[in-house]
């Protein structure tokens, strides 16, 4: 009997937990995985009256109510295309495929058009929250045809995280908009994590604090304006002892080399294509890349002299670091939301920036108190071009920039790498400074390539016959 509300393909971490979340909310869920043993494992370990496992794709599809809703929770990239091609001959016009993985938004735009021609509706849905979020309420960013959204809205809203009565799920825009917003969410996640990692280096190597103290500092910060999921888990991480009774904390035993699956890098590449400066996200990507060069780093550590700087830090050091972190965090979000601003125009998505910030308030990795301020900023001025110019953020930058400068100088003198903090300050100064040297660049371009320049004292396009004074 075709009475299942939705079918999920992909029973790994995300798919299985979303399936259980939907089942908890009263939806009848059909579960399928390419490798049958995984479906079996999920059914055995977490049986649920609303969850049924299938071991044959045709049977799985026949179990679904019309229009059939098939959600893909599988590895992004080629697997999504191959599963779509497997599904097409078995689906009817009006059926719906929902891709809830971290697909690249341009792939989603392509797949959306491809399936539209076949009469199948396609939703590219960004989902954030990891395993726990998927199980108990993630932040959900659906993109696709607005008229068809009614077919997926009740399920997505029900399973999403909630702030009071409000679901952390909102229709984002046409075709690839949902996956675009998720991609940049992850880019901001990279910058946020990088800033916290640099804060850790500062507190440890400049402040000289041990893990117990670090845990306490992050725990305290999490009670104030920095309150966020990432600050909270960082406090937990420093408190975690090593496994199997080994002395010390686990964090000190983890190799200093970070992985990445691609969403941060896509964000960075996309920013160059759109001509938007998101230097902090790019710095975070580069630092993960550099962290993997273990041999080269070892060689550099033994061959490049470290600076000698022994000054003791003042009593207000921890507070200065906290203020710097908050100011730099503002810039990371200002950069991410500038990218949304440009994409909204470029792709005609009419993104609602305030609403996007509001669905990040719970469920997702970057969930934070702070996001309310972003929503408020766009409520006050929906045409805000850069978050830095909102009164609240502007005041904060003005109040905290001296701390940011002090902390950066301290780190530089001590030889501690702080690429994200530095990029934040560079971004502020490049905006604030009356001159950023572009006049000289234009002169050089005109000198060697007749690329022309504009003048400050009259309108028009100019070229100069530059003299070789020194040849």
Ligand X SMILES: O=C(CO)[C@H](O)[C@H](O)COP(=O)(O)O
Q: Which residues are catalytic?
A: 182, 189
Out of ligand X, ligand NDP, none, what residue 365 binds, judged by CB under 5 to 8 A for its kind, is: ligand X
- Kindly state the smallest distance separating residue 449's Cβ from ligand X, in Å: 39
Q: From the list 21, 102, 341, 367, which residue makes contact with ligand NDP (rule: CB under 6 A)?
A: 102
Q: Does 261 bind ligand X (CB under 6 A)?
A: yes
Q: Considering the complex, what minimum distance in angstroms separates the CB of residue 316 from ligand X?
A: 33
From ligand NDP, ligand X, none, which one binds at residue 10 (CB under 5 to 8 Å depending on kind)? Answer: ligand NDP
Count of residues engaged in binding ligand NDP, rule: CB under 6 A: 22
264 binds, among ligand NDP, ligand X, none (CB under 5 to 8 A by kind): ligand X
Q: Which residues contact 287 (CB under 8 A, 6 or more apart)?
A: 194, 197, 258, 417, 419, 420
260 binds ligand X (CB under 6 A): yes
127 binds ligand NDP (CB under 6 A): yes
Q: Are 228 and 339 in contact (CB under 8 A)?
A: no
Residue 405 near ligand NDP by CB under 6 A = no
Among 102, 103, 267, 423, binds ligand X (CB under 6 A): 102
139 contacts ligand X (rule: CB under 6 A): no
**Spatial contact of 313 and 205, defined as CB atoms under 8 Å apart:** no
Residue with token string 């990432």: 230
Q: Which is nearer to ligand X, 229 or 427 (CB)?
A: 229
User: Is the CB of 332 or the CB of 411 nearer to ligand X?
Assistant: 332
Residue 395 annotated as binding site:
no
From the list 10, 144, 264, 363, which residue makes contact with ligand NDP (rule: CB under 6 A)? Answer: 10
User: Under the rule (CB under 6 A), what is the footprint of ligand X?
Assistant: 102, 128, 130, 186, 189, 260-261, 263-264, 365
User: Under the rule (CB under 6 A), what is the footprint of ligand NDP?
Assistant: 10-15, 33-35, 38, 73-76, 79, 82-83, 101-102, 127-128, 130
Q: Residues annotated in the binding site for substrate, as ranges?
A: 102, 128-130, 185-186, 190, 261, 288, 445, 451
């Amino acid at each position: 009997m075709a009475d299942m509300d939705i079918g999920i393909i992909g029973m790994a971490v995300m798919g299985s937990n979303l399936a259980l979340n939907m089942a908890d909310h009263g939806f009848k869920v059909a579960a399928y995985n390419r490798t049958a043993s995984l479906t079996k494992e999920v059914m055995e370990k977490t049986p649920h009256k609303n969850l049924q496992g299938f071991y044959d794709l045709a049977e799985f599809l026949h179990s679904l109510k019309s229009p059939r809703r098939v959600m893909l929770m599988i590895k992004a990239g080629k697997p999504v295309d191959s599963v779509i091609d497997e599904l097409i001959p078995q689906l009817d016009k009006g059926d719906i495929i929902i891709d809830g993985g971290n697909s690249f938004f341009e792939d989603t735009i392509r797949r959306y058009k491809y399936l539209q021609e076949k009469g199948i509706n396609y939703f590219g849905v960004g989902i954030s929250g990891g395993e726990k979020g998927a199980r108990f309420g993630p932040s959900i960013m659906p993109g696709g045809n607005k008229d068809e959204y009614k077919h997926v809205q009740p399920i997505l809203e029900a399973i999403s995280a909630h702030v009071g009565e409000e679901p952390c799920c909102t229709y984002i825009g046409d075709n690839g908009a949902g996956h675009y917003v998720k991609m940049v969410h992850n880019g901001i996640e990279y910058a946020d994590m990088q800033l916290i990692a640099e804060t850790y280096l500062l507190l440890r190597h400049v402040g000289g604090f041990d893990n117990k103290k670090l845990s306490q500092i992050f725990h305290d910060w999490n009670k104030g304006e920095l309150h966020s999921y990432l600050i909270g888990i960082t406090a937990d991480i420093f408190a975690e002892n090593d496994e199997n009774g080994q002395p010390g904390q686990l964090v000190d035993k983890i190799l200093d080399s970070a992985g990445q699956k691609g969403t941060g890098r896509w964000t960075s590449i996309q920013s160059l294509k759109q001509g938007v400066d998101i230097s902090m996200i790019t710095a975070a990507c580069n630092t993960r890349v550099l962290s993997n060069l273990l041999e080269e780093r070892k060689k550099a550590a033994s061959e490049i002299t470290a600076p000698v700087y022994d000054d003791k830090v003042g009593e207000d050091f921890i507070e200065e670091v906290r203020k710097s972190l908050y100011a730099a965090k503002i810039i990371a979000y200002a950069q991410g939301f500038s990218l949304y601003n440009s994409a909204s125009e470029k792709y005609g998505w009419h993104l609602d920036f305030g609403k996007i910030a509001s669905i990040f308030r719970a469920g997702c990795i970057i969930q934070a108190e702070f996001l309310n301020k972003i929503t408020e900023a766009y409520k006050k001025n929906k045409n805000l071009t850069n978050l830095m110019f909102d009164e609240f953020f502007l005041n904060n930058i003005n109040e905290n920039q001296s701390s940011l400068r002090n902390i950066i100088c301290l780190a530089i003198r001590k030889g501690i790498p702080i690429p994200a903090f530095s990029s934040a300050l560079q971004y502020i100064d490049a905006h604030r400074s009356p001159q950023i040297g572009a006049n000289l660049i234009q002169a050089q371009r005109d000198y060697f390539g007749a690329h022309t320049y504009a003048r400050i004292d009259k309108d028009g396009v100019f070229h100069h016959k530059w003299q070789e004074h020194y040849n």
